[in-house]
């Protein structure tokens, strides 16, 4: 918002009221194979000039429960807290920076498994503003068994059976036919 005022000397004085915005970015992998990492870090980088009542919260959304679940909260200078299904699966001692207002902004997931795939929401707030950013994470599980069977029946129809076990995410199969 821009404010202006005519001073007694006739000069126009103007000033701008700038809201203390929060700028966000998440650094971290989007996809990796199960078992290839002991831990994964999602770093919610943010910038704000207003540190009053600063709070960082992480939420988790998966395909089964589409409602965001609070899994991590940190309000400097307090210690970080974990909740819900991620209790004992987060490294609460992990420090991503030496700055006392940003050191626990990152989510450090220990022993990630495919069931932890989903959308991770970082919510940063202060006394004047709040911002949210979403990061998708997929932890792939290669198939343990894969079989493909083709059988043409006497009436000319083709039966196709595809079996894949132990795979994540659930594959989507598209079948195309050429009627040439």
d(CA 104, CA 76): 9
Structure confidence at residue 8 as a pLDDT band (50, 70, 90): low
CATH assignment of 20-140, given 2.40.50.140, 2.60.40.10, 2.102.10.10, 2.40.50.1070? 2.60.40.10
Mean pLDDT, the chain, integer: 86
> pLDDT, tens digit, for every residue of 116-150?
999 999 999 999 999 999 999 999 998 888 888 88
Q: How far apart are the first and last CA of the chain?
A: 66
> pLDDT, tens digit, for every residue of 58-79?
999 987 878 899 999 999 999 9
Report residue 161 CA to chain centroid gap: 36
Residue 119 has a pLDDT of 96
Cα–Cα distances in Å, from 62 out to 105, 106, 125, 136, 137? 21, 19, 23, 10, 10
Spatial CA neighbour of 136 closest among 32, 47, 46? 32
List the domain boundaries for the chain. 20-140
């Amino acid at each position: 918002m821009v404010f202006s005022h005519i001073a007694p000397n006739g000069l126009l004085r103007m000033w701008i009221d700038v809201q203390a915005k929060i700028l966000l970015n998440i650094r971290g992998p989007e996809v990796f194979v199960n078992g290839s990492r002991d831990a994964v870090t999602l770093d919610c980088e943010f910038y704000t000039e207003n540190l009053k009542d600063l709070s960082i919260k992480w939420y988790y959304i998966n395909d089964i429960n589409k409602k965001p679940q609070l899994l991590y909260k940190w309000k400097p200078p307090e210690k970080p807290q974990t909740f819900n299904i991620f209790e004992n699966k987060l490294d609460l001692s992990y420090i991503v920076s030496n700055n006392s207002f940003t050191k626990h902004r990152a989510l450090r997931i220990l022993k990630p498994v495919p069931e932890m795939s989903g959308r991770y929401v970082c919510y940063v707030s202060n006394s004047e503003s709040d911002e949210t950013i979403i990061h998708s994470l997929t932890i792939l599980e290669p198939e343990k068994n894969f079989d493909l069977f083709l059988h043409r029946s006497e009436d000319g129809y083709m039966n196709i059976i595809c079996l894949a076990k132990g795979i994540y995410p659930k594959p989507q199969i598209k079948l195309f036919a050429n009627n040439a």
